[in-house]
Structure 1
Amino acid sequence: MAKFHNFFCQMTLNQDEYFSVKSPLQTEIKIKGSRFIANIFHAETKEEAEVLYKNLCRKYHDATHNCYAFRITEDLFRYSDDGEPSGTAGKPLLQMIDAKGLLEVICVVTRYFGGVKLGTGGLIRAYSQAAQSALDAVTLVKKTIRSRFILSCGYELENTVRNIINRFKGIVENAEYTEQIKIIVAVPESRSELFLQEINEQTNSVVNAKRLG
């Protein structure tokens, strides 16, 4: 579980679990004439987040600023002030995401200038409020960090392998039946080494197990 999760998340999540957003959401607030439009999306990769941001920039091409922050994993994040004074937009957006303890999330706040300058403190508050308005309204979903493996075995070992997968709460993503059975499975990350150990012990290391990604 990511170290920046808030107290609520720490009380409700297991080691491999985290919260993300279930579906896109948009909210809008007005501060001293300026419109702040917040869009929240789920994004599993940096590339996906970047595409979502570019699409919004095209949609709001006439906006004064399109600022964003995303956090994909604990170590993978980005943010941009998009022309606002340094530290007044992107970083506050990221801080709001982290305050909720979310992963795989991008928040984009579009500003249409209303004629009144807000100052450094005012901008930080405005972008924070815009992000919070969306983050408070969005539906969250609990997800599990998993490690993926491809397992190759003979037909006589299929039941043994599938029983182990079930005991470790694994998810079978695909199975191919040719000369051998090839199973792609995702298991909770914290139990992945024990999973491999159990596969080897219960099948006398006959099953070929390779980690994916």
Structure 2
Amino acid sequence: MPSTLTGLCEYREEIRKSRFITLAAPITSTQQAHTFIDQHSDLNASHNCWAWKLGDQYRSSDDGEPGGTAGRPILSAIEAQDCDQVVVLVIRWYGGIQLGTGGLARAYGGGANKCLQNADKFPLVTRVALRCACSFSEWVLVKLRISELNGVLSEETFTANGVDLQLAIAEEHIQPLQQQLADLSRGRIVLERYSLKAND
């Protein structure tokens, strides 16, 4: 199961007089990835090479290193560690000794690998978007049941009759949650699947 990072992590090493600092962080958007790269790149360094992966989207940059020796190995490290929603930036200060294309790929990919290996991670759970309606008296209990099954409550709308809820929960927890909600409402609360559209 893919995982992402709980927060920023860092790994430092020196290879044949070149200094490398690897930074990795969780992201939830492509904009967040590029903001991280812009904020943490060192303009005084020789190279700021990076890669990020967000679901089916990914990008990488060699930032002046020979093609395929930096960005792609960093991206390969993200994939090898089964990470997603992650950005990795490797900053290099050239130390005067050429590493060669193989040496560069090992340095960038290796630094990214070690950084991600040492990072605190948590699994990414694919959740299904659902909605339901409940009365005011049931509202607190419904929220508790959703929370107990690691669901995420995305929206609560108060109406004349009660509360309309939008939530997301793992597929395997839908049936147990439906049963619990039916029990506490005598069958009135029904979970309904819906698509997350841009204007939802």
Fold conserved between structures, TM > 0.5: yes
Alignment RMSD (CA, Å): 3.2
The equivalent of 1:10 in structure 2 is none
The equivalent of 2:35 in structure 1 is 51
SS at match of 2:153: strand
Of 109, 114, 121, 1:128 maps to 109
The equivalent of 1:183 in structure 2 is 165
Cα distance in 1 for partners of 2:78, 2:31 equals: 19
SS at match of 1:144: coil
Cα distance in 1 for partners of 2:147, 2:108 equals: 45
In structure 1, what residue type is equivalent to 2:10?
Q
Say whether 1:67 aligns with 2:35.
no
Q: How does 1:137-176 map to 2 (within 5 A)?
A: 137-151=118-132, 153=133, 155=135, 162=142, 170-176=151-157
Q: 1:156 to 1:33 in 2, by over 3 A?
A: closer
Which 10-residue stretch deviates more, 129-138 or 96-105? 129-138
CA deviation digits over 1:155-184, x for unaligned, max 9?
39967x949958976332332322252212
Cα distance in 1 for partners of 2:164, 2:36 equals: 35
Question: Normalized against structure 2, the TM-score is what?
Answer: 0.78
Q: Percent identity?
A: 28
User: How many pairs does the alignment contain?
Assistant: 189
Residue 11 of structure 2 contacts residue 21 of structure 2 at CA under 8 Å; is this kept in 1?
yes
CA deviation digits over 1:54-89, x for unaligned, max 9?
1112xx11111111111111x111111111111000
The equivalent of 1:23 in structure 2 is 7
In structure 1, what residue type is equivalent to 2:126?
I
The equivalent of 1:108 in structure 2 is 89
Cα distance in 2 for partners of 1:55, 1:167 equals: 38
Residue 25 of structure 2 contacts residue 88 of structure 2 at CA under 8 Å; is this kept in 1?
yes
Which 10-residue stretch deviates more, 176-185 or 124-133? 176-185
Cα distance in 2 for partners of 1:156, 1:113 equals: 64
Residue 157 of structure 1 contacts residue 203 of structure 1 at CA under 8 Å; is this kept in 2?
no
Say whether 1:34 aligns with 2:18.
yes
Residue 150 of structure 1 contacts residue 212 of structure 1 at CA under 8 Å; is this kept in 2?
no
Cα distance in 2 for partners of 1:166, 1:34 equals: 49
In structure 1, what residue type is equivalent to 2:45?
A
Say whether 1:99 aligns with 2:93.
no
Post-superposition offset of 1:144: 1.1
Post-superposition offset of 1:40: 0.7
Residue 66 of structure 1 contacts residue 111 of structure 1 at CA under 8 Å; is this kept in 2?
yes
In structure 2, what residue type is equivalent to 1:182?
D
In structure 2, what residue type is equivalent to 1:62?
N
Q: 1:53 to 1:119 in 2, by over 3 A?
A: same
In structure 2, what residue type is equivalent to 1:185?
L
Cα distance in 2 for partners of 1:24, 1:95 equals: 19
